[in-house]
Structure 1
Amino acid sequence: MGTIKRKAICILIDSGSTHNFLDPSILSLIECEVEPIPLQHVTIANGNKISLTKKVRNFQWLMQGVRFTTDAFLMPLESYHMVLEIQWLSELGVVNWNFKNLKMEFKVNDKQIILYGTRTPFLKMVNEKQLDKAMQNSPAAFYICFHSSILAASNSASSTPDLFHALNSTQQGELQSLLDNYLEVFSEPKGLPPHRAFDHRIILKEGTDPINVKPYRYPALQKSAIEKLIAEMKDAGIIRDSASPFSSPIVLIKKKDGSWRLCVDYKELN
């Protein structure tokens, strides 16, 4: 644990990675220089890649009465306010660890410093049904941490960093020139591509009856989403009304950002 302006913050010390990370929620408590940096990618413990575009210089905090200063990348952290890694540990020099007692010893300006870790109480993960049952049967107070199976906002489409502004002025000019030269490639499609010399076709065996599968039953929420997506594609000229004897049902697949992807189930045709 540490403190900033008498406010407690939760800190993880991790010797398994390279850089320091700071949760953006801390910015309201500090007066530090936040600077944009060229886009960088890091791989976190669960294998997901995170984009970094900002860095905090000379971030200061107190930890068990000792003041520390370091640089840190800004990145949303689910369970901690700050993660200190090899970048910070290497500044301490020789560090003696005692993992049994959660203790680390080092020297700062020839002064012996001893930091003690906070012992985490036993935590048990429960699903929605188990939580509901516990709340009905136990008249006690609960401290709950919700963990989503979907990556937090740092990886959603709405929080994808603007790559253009992460570049320097020279790189921005080069990128804009590339986009202008290949405008037809990078522009948003407005209709179907032109006919090519070899358009895709599915050739059926001779004598095969038309494949006509009835639509699936959809809940009202999905039905509305399907109608909306179909209307948008018709307006864009991507699809059109058809009197074909062939028919395949639609399947909606939810994306990580919560929106729907419309897919056609060609299982019977294939």
Structure 2
Amino acid sequence: MRVATNIGQTKVILLINSGSTHNFINANLVKQLALLVSPMNKLKVIVANGAILVAGGIFRAVQWKVESIQFHTDFYVLPFKECDLVLGRSYNRYWKSSLTFLKNQNDYLHLDYKIIKFL
């Protein structure tokens, strides 16, 4: 599922992926926005097509927003092309907020008590 979001004034596409164990930010977006990335030990990630990518650091406490809802999330930096951010299963571990699908409305989700439309 893809959702439009913002990092500062920059519009980005967030992929909500329950199959992903971590949160990721696109390496090109990190360069474009000149974001400060913290070094880390190598994290090897196997992506959907079976390729192995290596995280190039971690961007801590990324402030992003969906409509009026503000979030702060750590994202590992990866070189991928499909979207700007990937929100994985770790989302539910760190927030007590809900992330559920509305019955019979596959193009909407309920995020922190607010209904968000998918792209």
| TM-score normalised over the length of structure 2 | 0.81
Aligned residue type for 1:16: G
Q: Could you give the per-residue CA deviations for residues 130-150 of structure 1, whole angstroms, max 9, x where no partner exists?
A: xxxxxxxxxxxxxxxxxxxxx
CA RMSD of superposed structures (Å): 2.0
Aligned residue type for 2:118: G
1:48 to 51, 74, 78: 51
Specify which structure has the higher proportion of strand: 2
CA distance in 1, matches of 2:116, 2:111: 9
CA distance in 2, matches of 1:29, 1:66: 21
2:19 to 5, 16, 21: 16
Kept in 2, the 8 Å contact 1:15–1:89? The answer is: no
CA distance in 2, matches of 1:87, 1:10: 18
What is residue 220 of structure 1 aligned with on the other side? none
Instruction: Detail structure 1 runs of 4+ shifted over 3 Å in the superposition.
Output: none
Show the 5 A alignment for 1:1-270: 1-27=4-30, 28-29=32-33, 31=35, 33-93=36-96, 94-98=98-102, 100-107=105-112, 112-118=113-119
Which of the two has higher C-alpha Rg? 1
Structure 1: which 5+ residue stretches go unaligned?
119-270
Give the superposition deviation at 1:30: 6.1
Aligned residue type for 2:46: T
CA distance 1:52–1:7, change in 2 (3 Å): closer
Give the superposition deviation at 1:62: 1.5
Kept in 1, the 8 Å contact 2:62–2:73? The answer is: yes
Give the superposition deviation at 1:105: 1.7
CA distance in 2, matches of 1:42, 1:17: 10
Specify which structure has the higher proportion of helix: 1
Kept in 2, the 8 Å contact 1:5–1:29? The answer is: no
Aligned residue type for 2:107: L
Kept in 1, the 8 Å contact 2:53–2:79? The answer is: no
How many positions carry a matched residue from both structures?
Answer: 113
Q: Give the SS at the match of 2:29.
A: helix
Q: Give the SS at the match of 1:38.
A: coil
Kept in 1, the 8 Å contact 2:59–2:77? The answer is: yes
CA distance 1:25–1:53, change in 2 (3 Å): closer
Kept in 2, the 8 Å contact 1:4–1:30? The answer is: no
CA distance in 2, matches of 1:116, 1:105: 9
Structure 2: which 5+ residue stretches go unaligned?
none
Q: Give the SS at the match of 1:36.
A: coil
| TM-score normalised over the length of structure 1 | 0.38
Aligned residue type for 1:84: L
